[in-house]
Amino acid sequence: GHQWYWSYEYSDYNTEDETLINFDSYMIPEDDLSLGQLRLLEVDNRVVVPVKTHIRVLITAADVLHSWAIPSLGIKCDAVPGRLNQVNLFLKREGVFYGQCSELC
């Protein structure tokens, strides 16, 4: 977690040239939203995870306290600088699940 955005890395998945997949995910500003997009929830780069697969998410922060959350899945985990926390997921159905930071930076 960073102030105002999240960074993601697929650590168990390598591309053909053996590089890791990593990217930043920023919230889309309200003025840039398209019709039907949700205010304060839409991001420029979505995280995609497989269904019916055990997934381990490692969470930390680079600057201040954050709280990585996906309310519709009942998930919330603190992101603390210098500490590595984890959450395990097993999604049974496909869908779009909106995440958010549940702590004020």
How many whole angstroms separate alpha carbon 81 and alpha carbon 7?
A: 14
Q: Where are the domains of the chain?
A: 5-101
pLDDT at 46 over 80: yes
| Assigned CATH topology for domain 5-101 | Immunoglobulin-like (2.60.40)
| pLDDT digits 0-9 by tens, 77-101 | 999 999 999 999 999 999 999 999 9
The identity of residue 9, as a single letter, is E
How many whole angstroms separate alpha carbon 101 and alpha carbon 76?
A: 9
How far from the centroid of its chain's Cα atoms is residue 75's Cα? 11
Secondary structure class of 31 (helix, strand, coil): helix
| pLDDT digits 0-9 by tens, 50-77 | 999 999 999 999 999 999 999 999 999 9
How many whole angstroms separate alpha carbon 28 and alpha carbon 41?
A: 8
Please report, for residues 38, 67, 72, 75, the alpha-carbon distance to residue 64 in angstroms, rounded to integers and kept in the order given. 26, 10, 25, 20
| pLDDT digits 0-9 by tens, 12-42 | 776 677 788 899 999 999 999 999 999 999 9
pTM: 0.86
